[in-house]
Chain A
Amino acid sequence: MPRLSLYKPTKGNDDTFFDKRMHEMFTVGGVDVNIHLYLGPLAQPNISATEPGNTSPLSTGITGIQDLLFLENRDRKYDTSVYTMRTIYRINDNDFDLTQFGLFLTGDTMFATFHYQDMVQILGRKLMVGDVLEMPNFIDYYPLDQGLPVALKRFFTVQDASRSAEGFAPTYWPHLWRVKLQPLVDSQEYKDIINQIAAGENTTDTLGQVLSTLDKYIGINDAVVQRAEQDVPASGYDTSSIYVAPVQDDGYPADPNENDTSALTTPPTGSAIDDPQAIQNTPYKVGGYLTGDGVPANGTTVAAGISFPVSPTVNDYYLRLDYVPNRLFRFDGRRWVKIEDSVRTNLTPGSQNQTQLSGFINDYDKFYENSVGSDVIRVANVYTPPANAITSSFSYTSGNVITKLHYVSSYGVKVKINNLLITGALDNIVIANATGNIGFTVSNTLYHIGDTIEYTVYSRVVPQRQSLSQALRPTADNQ
């Protein structure tokens, strides 16, 4: 008679008996869970040897590792099918933990147990770290915002997985799989779920749009930045509300009805001084660190453009927009005298920011190569291009230029007005598709009748901003 032993080297009927009882236990006492299975890294290009992308078996499939340097899979692919099976877990009480990012819960880690054989049968494999579970019984029908389109589902991600200690039958064969679960966060790793799955039946909003705090925090962040912009609309100091009177060399107020000693008493030919007020003493703005805003003292009228007016009068101000930063000049009867540079700038990142932060990190400028055509337009009320020109039409009122060149989105155009290149803030001329041909618009404030607009279309437009390690390296033509 053999010795009495529940353990057998191979699974026998005893083990099957225990397994069925455990299966029954999940059927009777368990709860459904919806499972999003991790399939492997999303297809990525070959960036480097440590990020070979889908060109290497090391980085593809369920066993793939996207980043061989940092040993992480950041862009994960999930099965579009959702698997449902039973699990058993114990629910913990938890409290808000406001540490650092505020919204975590103490004891938010759960341990759930799955029936091993069922899991393999249903999922085709064991649950692993990175799988995402939806617990339907945790759905919240009463969020604060009653305007939300759906009830709030609850998702967990598997942080650890191993055999469960209590899942060993008296036969010593394991029957249960225990996973450690933590609440899902809206992170890069789970975008394939969060951005692909609708949050509910009656909405097209994705899970991320409904469940994530991202939009809320972006809104909060925007409000703080907006307040900061109200406090400091531009760098430096605002002197626009300060009135300044002309002063003499000794600092005493100068006579506003007296001639400005810095002006010529004899105007040059063509510079008529017919207005006695035009040669009065000129007040100078309050000086200081970053006070230049391109506006003359006391809000005196100033014209702006990229070339000086032809017939100025004494005390005329002119803001040159082709200077970076823009420069304010005053005509003293003989020459245009620099008054100040418009150095005050918005401090929020963006096109209005003229700091060095913008010049390098937020540099949107480009350079152009491989000319494919050019033309010069003499501005007229009604412009008729020569037959052999690449210009098809030019509108004086709108500044629209339409060429005869076929539209290619990667092409670019550079424009000169009166031989002065449009640069800096004005360098925002982009090509458009004008019924199949390249078109672009020149601001109608920049030219006058008789001016020349010269443009060149280039087939290669290269961003000026480049990583230093990649600068001057050859780039693929098909990028």
Chain B
Amino acid sequence: MATANQQFFYDAQIERFLAQFVRMVSGFQVEFGFDRNGHQTLQRVPVYWGDGSRQVAQIITQNAAPNVMNAVPAMTVYINNITYDRDRVQQPDFVGKIQIRQKYYNENTMEYEDKQGNAFTIERSMPVPYTIELKVDIWTSNTKQKLQLLEQLIVLFNPAMEIQSTDNYIDWTSLSVVYLESPNWTSRSVPIGTDNPIDVATLTFKLPVWITPPAKVKKLGVIQKIVASIHDSDGNLSDSVLTDDNLLGTRQYFTPMNYGTLLIGNTLTLLKQQDVETPRDIGGEDITGTPVKVGTPDNWAAFVNIYGNLSPGISEVRLLQPDGVSEVIGTVSYHPTDPTLMLFNVDIDTIPGNTLTPINAIINPTSSSLTSSITHPSAGTRYLILGDVGSANAAPSSGPTLWRGTDGVDLVCHANDIIQYTGVHWFVSFDSQTDTTLQYVSNLTTGTQYKWNLNQWVKSFEGEYKNGGWTLVL
């Protein structure tokens, strides 16, 4: 069996410190004396890696090494040693967590936009302390040059200079300091002997750094609901745990602060706690009322931005139904002109199923506009009646003639009843006076579904949803 590979990772951590160190000691100059034209010049001292390969060395010298002249002064940087720093060891199994909300990143423009994008939890494993010993060799062609360079360099480390390997806010290993440990004046013997080697001063630096394994970047998890017991009475895992998608962590679910929402038609409006709709209908919308919000208008975008970026047609609002289990789900998008409204496109598959045969129309039985085509339709026609008709105590064939059957049978019903025509006379199919169960019925004329809430008919899922009764899914 083949051995599984370690997952490769390399973040160039020491490399980045080296680049920053080179930057730190770069840009220094030495001053030459006056040339034959009376001009004084400053020459920048190049800084480069002191442990390059032989091939690159040959390339730099054009494969004509003795003919190409080395430039002096010059500085090289190289690692002399790297040691594990036991004195700085901290709890090795510690994991530091940080929650970050990013701005929305526009893939097209490749820029961040000023609204919230994804939110993440970053878990960072305890980094490992090391000390890097760097040496800087300074090659000069005369003592004056050497003093010029040293004076410029050594005054900076009092006692140290900060160094950063990255400006990433979440990288807790990026900051370190550079200590100048021990300058060495020259590599030559003094006084100079018969040989004449190049003169190299060496500065030794120490960098206490942290080397870190990769971090875990997770989609930010927010607690939506606390389940006190994850087991049901039979000892099995509770369905509420298994069915809650948010526990699977695929999307972000929010029950936004203390806001409620008002669904009218296909638009959602934010409701503060003190905002109430009028007329006030608990749990639904009166089939005849025109509700409005009372209070200052609230901006949906500002509200959604707290949690993330709304994806039109993908983000959802879920409306918890009175049974406490089922939800009406619809995709949402911002209203194109009114920032206080959100367009709600309901998924009809999530609308509660009808418990009664659909009605053909909602009828006011006392309206003067009633015609015989309405009161004597085809057999099987069903109406939801908004007012009382007839009386149970009345004599036969003494009720309203409009609703009397061709066989002389009077219609006796109450407001909110559903009546059905047999082809000869009407009878009460749904008796609002006696029914004690939640019922749903659709109006075939308008397509609107209504709900019998044991008190009155209301639109089945439109209306006010108080805080906790709806969920925003981004």
Interface residues of A (CB under 8 A from B): 42-45, 66-67, 70, 72, 74-75, 77, 94, 96, 98, 100-105, 108, 138-140, 142-145, 148, 152-155, 159-160, 182-189, 191-192, 194-196, 207-208, 211-214, 216-218, 220-221, 224-225, 227-229, 231-245, 253, 255-257, 276-277, 280, 286, 288-289, 291, 298-300, 347-350, 357, 361
Contacts and interface: CB of A to CB of B under 8 A. Distances in A.
Given A67-B144, A213-B71, A242-B102, A235 B112 contact: no
Given A98-B52, A212-B68, A347-B23, 9 more contacts: A183-B69, A183-B70, A224-B26, A225-B27, A228-B16, A228-B22, A236-B164, A237-B169, A277-B302
B26 A245 contact: no
Contact of B26 (A98, A142, A221, A289): A221
A213 B167 contact: no
B63 A144 contact: yes
Interface string B436-473: 00000000000000000000000000000000000000
A143 B62 contact: yes
A96 B53 CA distance: 11
Given A102-B52, A237-B168, A217 B71 contact: yes
A364 B356 CA distance: 87
A189 B142 contact: yes
Contacts of B298: 257
A158 to B, nearest CB: 11
Contact of B306 (A225, A253, A289): A253
Contacts of B302: 256-257, 277, 280
A224 B48 contact: yes
Contacts of B175: 289
A185 B36 contact: no
7 contacts: A70-B142, A94-B66, A96-B65, A102-B52, A152-B67, A218-B44, A257-B299
A94 B38 CA distance: 40
B35 interface: yes
A231 B16 contact: yes
A186 B72 contact: yes
Contact of B71 (A214, A255, A347): A214
B141 A188 contact: yes
B68 A72 contact: no
Contacts of A182: 196
Contacts of B183: none
B74 A217 contact: yes
B62 A144 contact: yes
Given A45-B34, A186-B69, A277-B299, A100 B139 contact: yes
A148 B62 contact: yes
B349 interface: no
Nearest to B340: A257
Contacts of A244: 101
A148 B30 CA distance: 28
Contacts of B364: none
B59 interface: yes
A217 B72 CA distance: 11
Contact of A243 (B27, B63, B103, B196): B103
Q: Closest 9 CB pairs between A and B? A: A214-B71, A75-B33, A217-B46, A143-B62, A187-B141, A256-B302, A228-B23, A140-B64, A299-B114
A113 to B, nearest CB: 18
Contacts of A104: 70, 198
B103 A43 contact: no
B164 A224 contact: no
B237 interface: no
A75 B32 contact: yes
A245 B116 contact: yes
A250 B50 CA distance: 54
A361 B70 contact: no
Most buried by B among A104, A194, A213, A238: A213
Given A194-B69, A228-B22, A253-B306, A221 B16 contact: no
Contacts of A191: 32, 35
Interface string B250-285: 000000010000000000001010000000000000
A96 to B, nearest CB: 6
Nearest to A288: B169
Most buried by B among A77, A240, A255: A255
A256 B198 CA distance: 68
Nearest to A75: B33
A235 B65 CA distance: 40
Nearest to B32: A188
B114 A298 contact: yes
Interface in B58-94: 58-74, 76
Given A144-B63, A241-B112, A229 B200 contact: no
Nearest to A43: B34
